[in-house]
Chains A and B, each alone.
Chain A
Amino acid sequence: MPVAVFFGCAFIAFGPALALFVFTIAREPLRVIILIAGAFFWLLSLLLSSLVWFIAVKASNPENVSLQKGLLIFGAVFSVVLQEVFRFAYYRLLRKANEGLAAISEENLSPISVQQMAYVAGLGFGIMSGAFSMINILSDSLGPGTVGIYGDSQYYFITSAFMTMAMTLLHTFWGVVFFDGCEKRRWWVIAAVAALHLLVSGLSFLNPSYEGSLPPAYVIMVLMAAWAFFSSGGSLQTLTQVWMCKKNGVDSS
């Protein structure tokens, strides 16, 4: 039943993003706006970088395979750089917006903090990036066939879904870390985020040997999760606190 593959891959790729959206963003209109604007910024960066790549491809010889591969790598690198540039641009925009929001509120306090904006912006980037990676593949998973007749792996749909999930969450964490670095003027943080983004993007060139691309991407995701957790105010103490609370709660109930 190809519909099973469709829903399975859709849930894998967009499940966490959906959960995050439903529980943390959907109730607050301001966060929804920031999310969608973030998605739009990512879309703009992709549009510009794909324009550059497209022109490069059209201007080059289509027969030369190694040249085309080289252009693809160049396009990917350029796209990563442009995405980070747009992330910075969005940061500046949100800072400005934050001042405005603080000015019109009653207590001169912005209703949303920079960390929350960072998280929402990152999630916006992630959702849009995931959509662009996955929708194409999801539509083809509805047909009767699966990948493989030309020798590709038959696990293409599932691995794409897992990669998309990793990218979505990675963008979220990178957003948090990036904005924090900008706030505290730590430029090495920005460089690190860009480097990691390039690394994960480069890992995808190792496909179809999915062992080479998926586990490293997940390792990086876990590390980024930890980094984002610590940079947004979490610490081992709070973690143990919550764990104890939960345990006590479970014991007492």
Chain B
Amino acid sequence: VMGAAGSSVSGQPSLLLTCLHICPLPGVGCSSVQQKIYVQLNKTFPCVRLLNATHQIGCQSSVSGDTGVLHVLETETDLDWVLSSGPNPPYVVLMVAEHFNRSTMMKLKGSARVAGVAVVISKAGPAQGFSPHHSCPNQNSGVYSDSYGPELAGCNVTVWNPLGNSLSYEDFRFPIFSLHEGEEADVIRKCFLDHNRGVNGSDPAYPLCAMQLASHMYAVKDTATCMRRNDIQSRFSISPEFVCDALADYNVWSSLKPLNNSGKGHLDGESVVIAATRLDSRSFFWNEAPGGESAVGGFVTLLAAAQALRAVVEDHPPSQNILFTFFQGETFDYIGSSRMVYDMENGKFVIDLDNIHSLVEIGQVALHRNGQLWLHSDPVSRRNSSVRSESTALNLSLSVAEPDVSQPLPPSSFQRFLRARPIPGVVLTDHMSAFSNRYYESLYDDAEYLNVSYPSGLSPEEQLEYVTDTAKTLAEVATLVARSLYKQAGGLDDHLSSINADPKIVTQMLYGFLVQSNNSWFRSLVSPDIVKNLGDPVKMPTWLVQYVLANFTGTLRNLTQTQCKNPEDLEGESKDLYSYFWVQGPVPPNSTQGEGYCVRAPVRLVKAHSPAFELHQYSSRDYSTWTESRWKQIQARIFLVASRDLEMLTLGVGVAVLLVSLVVTYFINSKADLLFSSSRETTSTAY
């Protein structure tokens, strides 16, 4: 998942009288009136608004939220109730994930009687597959265009994601939230069953159960508009409030032989094989992107390959260097890779495009059937010296083949490199033509889909160590990749057999990135102050991948913590060649914290920020222009609503009481002397 730099903090609704909100029983459990009225839904995920050069996508709500009478969608008649026959519009529709498809959502989108949608996500996805992404991902930002392989552009030859319904790229004017099956979903259903169903087919009576979804987004129209508004804010406002942020994060890269980071631009005599993969994924909802097959499988494989190559790097290094790159933001028109290519073109990276010998990219590899993998290459620029890995696959149970038809490259970071130079390269995947991933860029692309499952009864630590079948197969892929890279970089065949990826490491990584990142192994790899950020599958794994890569490619140094921060003057240490990380280390059984060690590794982070924002070309067609809107408050709650008649009655009674009391008081006041005359003598005495 890519994060927009600095998205928002939640705020409180600013009612004038909220400051007088008294909670009368703080000890017992606050029973203030608000808690009698609202049931807050805490474990919800909203859909947010994203903008690019031409469109806005995602969802929007009004400032304080959209309220609608709750209706549970189970059959077609329910849809008619919401769209035309129900007597109390607008409605908030609660649906299970089966109904969350394009046809239903388009019907709801077009109706004015819908105030919001809540989707209940079950553990397993719909059996037929579900992908809210485009059917032709990153169509306009790849290499195929009218000027380069026009017959291959636009998925004319192969539709990569046939199950894609482009729901993520629609613009909804009502909020859409998701929640998991569990207590909160049951509470909502109970509220609906108790209050919103009419008796014997009649209309349901007030008070009705309603839901309010608030996810007000500040940005509108497109990136150029929101950037212009940001500009105005920063120039004319004392405390500027930006409306959107560009999607930005960091790419992680490392090299087999260290490169001097202070030298930028062309590096004479250096020839590099790039091993690339992507880190990110997305789903329809914000910050929920397990990306098991689409991202995690790939980068775990490359990490394991980097670790496997360590065996030969000391004694028998290959003649060329190998650069491991992990790109962020590839889902959104290749933010990371386009930035790296841009930096290379402009001499801002340690090497430039002329230094690249070839490129191997790891695509989606975790779902291969019968051990069959595929190597895709670009038919337009195919060279004779493309990667030959058939021989290296001999001792493994994998077979690698090239697809029969003259097929374009699948959506991959390699396409951005090809846009700049005709570099030879391949993309390794588990699909020949269309993706084997039936849940591409959706919530269901998770551990379960990859078959990362553990026998019941294992403790978390035992689960961490348990080697799943998926881990074994991915380890074989990693071994294949490592050996191919070694061979491609000029290594000798004799040493190939010593390059083996360790399934134990692969299974630990899969557990950490897909199931639970707060485990003992990850805790030992990261620095002590970052440990608290671990928990559940971590949302933005860039820094975690950095630490894992440092552990795999780095060496322990005998330095103290302060020395580790500033190793400039020490002998044998160089901040130009390496990065220094202070990590916690394994925790001994009798204490809660590890001792702390200094790890030196040639691992670096570079900005993955689209060049469009550097160049201020916010309507650029060449680079990614994706931004994410900012927001203040995102919340969902259910409550009962009273009928309009009762409200008007209350107002009427109030006005009547006021008028009657005014009249009576005036009357009594004017006759006060007469009325209270019996005591007139006593009032004059001075008491």
Contacts and interface: CB of A to CB of B under 8 A. Distances in A.
Partners in one complex: yes
Interface stretch (B52-60, B274-282, B628-636, B649-657): B649-657
B687 A113 contact: yes
B445 to A, nearest CB: 36
6 contacts: A5-B650, A15-B661, A110-B686, A233-B679, A238-B678, A242-B671
Q: Is the interface of B mostly helix, strand, loop or mixed?
A: helix
A135 interface: yes
Contacts of A241: 674
B644 to A, nearest CB: 7
B147 interface: no
B23 to A, nearest CB: 9
B675 A62 contact: no
A153 B650 CA distance: 15
A146 B669 contact: no
A250 interface: no
Contacts of A157: 650
Contacts of A8: 647, 649-655
Nearest to A60: B27
Contacts of A156: 33, 36
Interface in B198-235: 207, 209-210, 212
B233 to A, nearest CB: 30
B36 A152 contact: yes
B92 to A, nearest CB: 12
B615 interface: no
B640 A146 contact: yes
B640 A245 contact: no
Contacts of B15: 139, 142
Closest 4 A/B residue pairs (Cβ): A233-B679, A145-B639, A11-B654, A139-B17
B592 interface: no
Interface string B653-687: 11101100110111001010011111110111011
A109 interface: yes
B639 A136 contact: no
Contacts of A235: 678
B492 interface: no
A23 B210 contact: no
Contacts of B212: 144-145
Interface string A109-120: 110011100000
A233 B644 CA distance: 46
Interface residues of B, number: 63
A31 B559 CA distance: 81
B654 A9 contact: yes
Interface of A: 1-2, 4-5, 7-12, 15-16, 18-20, 22-24, 54, 57-58, 60, 62, 65, 68, 72, 95, 98, 102, 108-110, 113-115, 135-140, 142-150, 152, 154, 156-158, 161, 165, 183, 229, 232-235, 238-239, 241-242, 245-246
A138 B17 contact: yes
Contacts of A146: 37, 207, 639-642
B570 interface: no
B640 A154 contact: yes
B640 A165 contact: no
Interface of B: 15-18, 20-22, 25-29, 32-34, 36-39, 67, 191, 207, 209-210, 212, 637-642, 644, 646-655, 657-658, 661-662, 664-666, 669, 671, 674-680, 682-684, 686-687
B664 A19 contact: yes
A40 to B, nearest CB: 17
A149 B22 contact: no
B639 A115 contact: no
A156 B37 CA distance: 10
A30 to B, nearest CB: 15
A239 B662 CA distance: 19
Contacts of B661: 15-16, 18-20
B679 A145 contact: no
Contacts of A232: 676, 679
B648 A4 contact: yes
B32 to A, nearest CB: 7
A136 B32 contact: yes
Contact of B20 (A11, A114, A135): A135
A242 B686 contact: no
A246 to B, nearest CB: 8
Given A11-B655, A150-B36, A156-B36, A109 B650 contact: no
Contact of A11 (B38, B67, B657, B680): B657
A235 B191 CA distance: 57
A22 B662 contact: yes
B665 A19 contact: yes
A147 B675 contact: no
B647 A1 contact: yes
Contact of A62 (B28, B637, B664, B674): B28
B33 A145 contact: no
B13 to A, nearest CB: 8
Contacts of B686: 98, 102, 108-110
A242 B669 contact: no
B17 A135 contact: yes
A16 B657 contact: yes
A142 B647 CA distance: 12
Given A8-B647, A19-B664, A142-B15, A147 B36 contact: yes
A116 to B, nearest CB: 8
B21 A234 contact: no
A181 B240 CA distance: 65
Contacts of B654: 7-12, 15, 161
A113 B651 contact: no
A234 B665 contact: no
Nearest to A155: B646
B34 A140 contact: yes
A110 B683 CA distance: 10
Nearest to A241: B674
A221 B33 CA distance: 26
Nearest to A145: B639
Given A136-B20, A150-B36, A242-B671, A1 B657 contact: no
A149 B191 contact: yes
Contacts of A144: 67, 210, 212, 639, 641
Nearest to A157: B650
